[in-house]
Amino acid sequence: MPKSKSYALGIDLGGTKTLAAVIDLSSGSVVASARKRTRAERGQDFVSQRTIELANAAITAAKLPDDAELLAIGVGAAGQIDRAAGVVLDAPNLGVRNMALGEILNKRFNLPVVVGNDVEVAAMGESLYGSGRGYNNFVCLFVGTGIGSGIVQNGRMYTGLTGTAGEAGHMTIQAGGRICGCGSRGCLEAYASRTAITKAILAEMHHGRPSILADDALGQLKEGDTIIRSGIIANAIDHKDELVTEIVTEAANYLGYGLGSIMNFYNPDCIILGGGVIEAVDLLFETAVSRARTVALSASGKQTPIVRAKLGDFSGVAGAAALGAMRTGYAVDTKN
Ligand SMILES: [Zn+2]
């Protein structure tokens, strides 16, 4: 008799969107998913209600067979987490403090719940089902609103003394440089995150630099836009837009300095880069990689594979689901 398949629910609770998905644990593939904007401005109760609503929607849409097992729920939330208690301690981007998400979901769904950090679960997803397969020691770095990374050591997440290991976005890459959201100056994410790229482009346009982004006919930027979508950045570069090309090249070089420093310090088996802007913008990825190779010491600079993440939007939910299931004793088979 064939063994029934095992599944878990993964939830990616981000500042912009919340995504819930039922994951087939043998392959990491998505059986069904549901997503909506998080709307952090509506408050903590709204965020937890919306999370429950999306979890329900994903489970219903999955239509799992009767003999299938939904083992657990795993959550990755964009903030500081008390992993043992399942509490989101502080998450400014979610408008949430001390939210006992583990308990809330456990009560509602009667399943074991594991709560982790969003970058940690995404790194785990890539480790088990994506570009990290076959590597025991690597760094997975995501470029988005900010820059975060997960450190995998001997196949497990390394979280550090205070749980903040992998905060690569706050490595200083320019002494006394731009002020960062963390209060320090010259941090990597103040130069190379999508937010930083957007700010730099908009500031130049505001000062009169021409760009096709200002061209209404191309349906580019609207008044008051604070985020430039990755696809629009890629399109502007394809059209040889001088401003966007210049800003992205500059950001990519800073990203490369950061990556080169990571290679020198940790000498990982591999570096995985993820995030929508990395996926969409070849110039950013390729320039960062070649800069990293010149910054790193020659042996690691030459030999370290630097690859893109494989699971796209789903690395977080796949990793969260697997972490949840592993807590119950399920062993993810990483060999097939
Ligand atoms: Zn910082």
Sequence-distant (6+) residues with CB within 8 A of 8 are 22, 23, 25, 70, 71, 72, 73, 74, 321, 322, 324, 325, 330
**pLDDT for 291-318, tens place per residue?**
999 999 999 999 999 999 999 989 999 9
pLDDT in tens, 110-167: 999 999 999 999 999 999 999 999 999 999 999 988 899 999 999 888 989 988 899 9
Both tokens of residue 29?
């593939």
DSSP-derived secondary structure letter, 334: -
Ligand 1 centroid–CA 215 distance in Å is 34
**CA atoms 306, 319, 189, 236: torsion sign:** positive
Query: Token digits for 19?
Result: 């995504």
Ligand 1 geometric centre to CA of 182 (Å): 4
d(CA 88, CA 92): 11
Q: What is the pLDDT of residue 318?
A: 97
Q: Could you check whether 6-127+313-327 and 134-309 share the same CATH topology?
A: yes
Torsion angle, CA of 25/26/31/37, rounded to 10 degrees? Answer: 40
Task: Please give the distance, rounded to the nearest whole angstrom, from the Cα atom of residue 300 to the centre of ligand 1.
Answer: 26
The predicted model scores a pTM of 0.89
Ligand 1 centroid vs 111 CA: distance in angstroms? Answer: 37
* CA 191 to ligand 1 centroid distance, Å: 10
Options 3.90.1710.10, 3.20.20.70, 3.90.1300.10, 3.30.420.40; which CATH number does 134-309 get? 3.30.420.40
What residues does 13 pair with on adjacent strands? Answer: 18, 77
Q: Where are the domains of the chain?
A: 6-127+313-327, 134-309
**pLDDT for res 225:** 66
CATH superfamily label, 6-127+313-327? ATPase, nucleotide binding domain (3.30.420.40)
79 alpha carbon to ligand 1 midpoint, in Å? 14
Residue 1, pLDDT above cutoff 50: no
Separation of 163 CA from ligand 1 center, angstroms? 16
138, two tokens: 């690597």
Distance 184 CA to ligand 1 centre (A): 5
**What pLDDT score was predicted for residue 92?**
82
Residue 142's H or E segment, with its range, is strand 138-143
